[in-house]
Structure 1
Amino acid sequence: MSDSAPPLLFLDVDGPLIPFGATRHQLPDGYPVFEPEQGSGGTGGNPLIARIDPDLGPRLRALPCELVWATTWESEANECIAPWLGLPELPVVSWPEPPPAVGTDGLHWKTPALLRWAAGRPFAWVDDEINDTDRAWVEAHHPGRALLLRVDAWRGLTDADFTALDDWLRLPGG
């Protein structure tokens, strides 16, 4: 790994980019639906894509990192979501077929695969299913810096999440 390689940002889709699971009390008018900008990719026939705020694309591109899809959407994220957000084609983490069930210890099934993919590089992981077991496992098994940022699935990525990511990614040794 080169010392000049930027940190990785493993990005989940369902929850961080596509909010879901809110109650009527939390979102009385439902989830917002966004129209594609002129010349951007359309929804590709998937109604969930229109729930992704296209303004997230420029915010993600502005972060000092290498974006990587870490989602069960796998390559479909590049086909459907990247154009909607104005992102280039991104690397994609491939998962085992079928993904293993969450263990009795509470470790998320994505966690070991992300550490293998990172191969010691510093990384941030944005997901709505991260827990303290994942944090402890990463701390014990990953030699580099890591930020595991749990996002509220019903809200998706917020301004506070972007601030936390940007601050962490700009730390020395990132």
Structure 2
Amino acid sequence: MTGSGGLPLLFLDVDGPLLPFGPATGPSGSHPTYSTGPVPPGAGAHPLLARIDPGLGPRLAALDCELVWATTWTHGANEVVAPRLGLPALPVVLWPGMSSADARDARAGLHWKTRTLVEWAGGRAFAWVDDEIGEADRRWVAAHHGERALLHRVDPGRGLTDDDFRLLDTWLRMM
């Protein structure tokens, strides 16, 4: 399931970390928009894509890790989001159908992505950037993943910030 190599994985969600939504919590009180030239095929229907900062792409690519889409956008992230960021096609986590275990996890406060990401990591160190990570996810990963893991919640009203990149870079350098 995972790519080759020993670099840690960086699981990226789109909505929230890369595509801010909801009330803007940044200093300006509104979401900035960016013009990135031609709109990739299929992107015109999504009204918030102009909020994706193309400057995030080079910053993500510069991190010493293997980037992986961990989003409900699945392959659409490569078709629509990656071109806006100037990123190549990335590996994509595909989500299994809901099960009774998922319902039990939800009642316990565990995010529906958590088990799949640990399985996908296959024992490799990983960071997970998402706007829906909670303490139950951190506890479950600590108990069920034998390698280092950073579960980092991003404010969905701001998206990835300089502070988030500093944290990720520091964590990756400790590898």
TM-score by length of 1: 0.88
Select 1:115's aligned residue among 102, 108, 118: 118
2:143 is the alignment partner of 1:140: yes
Tell me if the contact between 1:10 and 1:68 (Cα under 8 Å) persists in the aligned partners: yes
Change (3 A) 1:93 1:2: closer
Change (3 A) 1:50 1:3: closer
Change (3 A) 1:2 1:55: closer
Equivalents in 1 of 2:53, 2:96: separation in Å?
A: 30
Equivalents in 2 of 1:79, 1:164: separation in Å?
A: 28
Tell me if the contact between 1:43 and 1:84 (Cα under 8 Å) persists in the aligned partners: no
Change (3 A) 1:93 1:22: same
Tell me if the contact between 1:43 and 1:49 (Cα under 8 Å) persists in the aligned partners: no
Change (3 A) 1:97 1:31: same
Q: Tell me the residue number matched to 2:79.
A: 79
RMSD: 2.5
Task: Report 1:6-45 matches (<5 A).
Answer: 6-22=7-23, 28=29, 30-37=30-37, 41=40, 44-45=43-44
Which runs of 5 or more residues in structure 1 are unaligned?
A: none
SS of the residue corresponding to residue 133 of structure 1 reads helix
TM-score by length of 2: 0.88
Tell me the percent identity. 59
Tell me if the contact between 2:26 and 2:158 (Cα under 8 Å) persists in the aligned partners: no
How far apart are 1:47 and its partner, in Å? 2.4
Change (3 A) 1:52 1:116: same
Change (3 A) 1:2 1:87: closer
| 18-27 or 137-146: bigger deviation | 18-27
Q: Tell me the residue number matched to 1:130.
A: 133
